[in-house]
Amino acid sequence: MQLRPYQQEAIDSGLSALKAGSNPVLQLATGTGKSIIIAAMTDHFRRAGKQAWMLTHVQQLVKQNAATYERYSGINPAVVCAGLGRKDMWGGVTYGTIQSVTGALDTLQPPDLIVIDEAHRVPHNEGEPTLYENILRRYPEAQRVAMTATPWRMDNGIIYGTGEQFWFDTLAYNYTVPRAVADGWLCPLVGVETETQLDLGAVSVSGDYVQSEVAEAQTNDWLGAVARSLPVLAPLRKHIAAYCPTVKAAKKTAETIHRVTGWTTTVLHAGMSQEERDEVLGRFTSGQTRVLCSVDMITTGFDFPSLDCIVCLRPTLSSSLWVQIQGRGTRLCPTKKNCLVLDYVGNLIRLGGVDMYETFYREKGLVEVEAVPRQPYVKKERQIYPGVRSLTPIDPMTGRDAKDGAELVVTVHNVNSVAITLRHKKASPVLLVQYICTTPEGARIDAANFINTETPDRKTLEFFDNRALAIRLPCGAKSLSWQLRGARKPVAVTVRKKGRYWNVVEEHWA
């Protein structure tokens, strides 16, 4: 099997790190062929007379990775996966789901190497009784390799580092989406923040947005507006995947799009039998169905290069999930020049393109959104901000995760303001100034500054003087927020942590 240059680089980097005694992470963009790299590394151990395991969380990835290993090595690997009806006990290479392998530990030979695909799903080593942790603790002498496009988690941040909490200790290789697109191995994405944005103001957050509440917020009028926009924004797209918050919402979305546009639609969710899922996917991939409304089903293990449009109706705070969703559209296909990402729920402004593309476009800024545009795109003011929300800011004084009271100097990318009423000061609103910032290590944080304009003090006067705004104080906060749009903003601020929040201590100007 002919390897691409970057795949050979990744294999060499991974094996070198293992030889040096490390437990490396190999970060490769979705669609760049991680299964071939896994095959080469596990076969390297087999040829050395050692046992190698490949673990992941879904049977589709087991099936795909095992098939790639057979093509690569000419050998049929052992497979332990209940969903595939297999529990093989032979060979030096075993591919399986974490659930099925856990149930067969007493009959399997101990591994010398454990490769984990989609390794961002592995929790940190914190003594929790998870399936991954139980296996990794049971075989402490086995070396470990993490394969993922997104080596971070919402709860713990980066999955590698020094310290007992990390199962992996180094990033041995990184092949990004921009590099893969430039090299011609991935299809570019075109991201559009649509005008029909969902109001998430009343939606609760518990780790991530509560999707049942998101579904309630998606009214018939809103879904109708979404459906009416599709023929305008994506008239020539043939294979459209819509990501929905709940099964009920997916059914309502499919019905609305079909009624408004006349396009063929269908729904895919985990409550279906395997036969039903295969039938639905078959109709979609063959082109019989134009729009597939899915609920948590086509984020990993879904390999369909012809996918040319992603419609996101599922908001998230997870940058790794957002990368996985967008990654479904990056595979090369002769029938498309790019994949259009239509975001109706604020993921682009919240999480950015996550290295998928340099920026994205507001709907009114588009001249053309179809493949091979006749005119160049008209770029609006940049709305994507760098940094990753799931990374934990580091306190430079201690070198550890920032705790209460920690002070950081962070770079400012944008400043917004709104008048709010504080609980302990209900008499009159104050100006809440929000700063979108990044730390030196790339963590995204939002900091707050409260400006009292009714009874101005020195802090208030300095705030407006630094922005060269002639404001007659005292005055109401509501009348001021609009005047701050377009005003000068600091290049950096000093912020102090208090609980889950960061407060601005000082502004720094150029």
What DSSP character marks residue 270? Answer: T
Q: Judge if 457 and 498 occupy the same domain.
A: yes
Q: Judge if 360 and 444 occupy the same domain.
A: no
- Rounded CA gap, 166 and 122, in Å? 10
Alpha carbon 334 to its chain centroid, in Å, reads 26
Alpha carbon 348 to its chain centroid, in Å, reads 11
Q: Judge if 207 and 274 occupy the same domain.
A: yes
Q: Which pLDDT belongs to residue 324?
A: 84
- Rounded CA gap, 294 and 301, in Å? 14
Q: Judge if 168 and 139 occupy the same domain.
A: yes
Token pair listed for 35: 């299964």
- Rounded CA gap, 373 and 485, in Å? 33
Across-strand partners of 137? none
Q: Judge if 141 and 241 occupy the same domain.
A: no
- Rounded CA gap, 51 and 94, in Å? 8
Who contacts 6 (Cβ-Cβ below 8 Å, separation ≥6)? 28, 32, 175, 179, 180, 183, 185
Q: Within the chain, what is the greatest distance between any pair of CA atoms?
A: 81
Q: Judge if 196 and 331 occupy the same domain.
A: yes
Q: Which pLDDT belongs to residue 482?
A: 60
Q: Judge if 146 and 196 occupy the same domain.
A: no
Domain limits for position 324 = 187-365
Q: Residue 482 corresponds to which amino acid?
A: W
Task: Give me the CATH number covering residue 437.
Answer: 2.40.50
Across-strand partners of 418? 432
Q: Is residue 45 within 8 Å of 115, Cβ to Cβ?
A: no
Q: Which pLDDT belongs to residue 208?
A: 82
Task: Give me the CATH number covering residue 42.
Answer: 3.40.50.300
Token pair listed for 482: 């609009």
- Rounded CA gap, 253 and 256, in Å? 5
- Structural domain contains residue 384: no
* Bond before 188 cis per omega within 30 degrees: no
Domain finish residue from 142, 157, 180 = 180
* CA 306, 311, 313, 317 torsion-angle sign: positive
Alpha carbon 338 to its chain centroid, in Å, reads 19
- Rounded CA gap, 50 and 111, in Å? 8
Token pair listed for 142: 């086995």
Confirm whether pTM is higher than 0.85.
no
Q: Judge if 354 and 244 occupy the same domain.
A: yes
- Rounded CA gap, 413 and 505, in Å? 17
Q: Which whole-number Å values give the CA distances from 283 to 248, 264, 271, 306, in the listed order? A: 21, 10, 18, 13
- Structural domain contains residue 330: yes
Q: What is the full per-residue pLDDT of the chain (510 aa) written as tens digits?
A: 789 999 999 999 999 999 999 999 999 988 899 999 999 999 999 999 999 999 998 888 999 999 999 999 999 999 999 989 999 988 789 999 999 999 999 999 999 999 999 998 888 887 777 899 999 999 999 999 999 988 877 666 778 888 888 899 999 999 988 888 889 998 888 888 888 889 888 888 777 889 999 999 999 999 999 999 999 999 999 999 999 999 999 999 999 999 999 999 999 998 999 899 999 999 999 999 999 999 988 877 678 899 999 999 999 887 778 888 988 888 899 989 889 999 999 888 777 764 433 334 444 443 333 332 323 333 334 345 667 767 888 888 888 888 889 999 999 988 877 767 665 545 567 788 889 898 888 888 889 898 888 777 888 888 888 887 767 777 776 666 666 766 888 999 999 998 888 999 999 997
Q: Judge if 339 and 401 occupy the same domain.
A: no
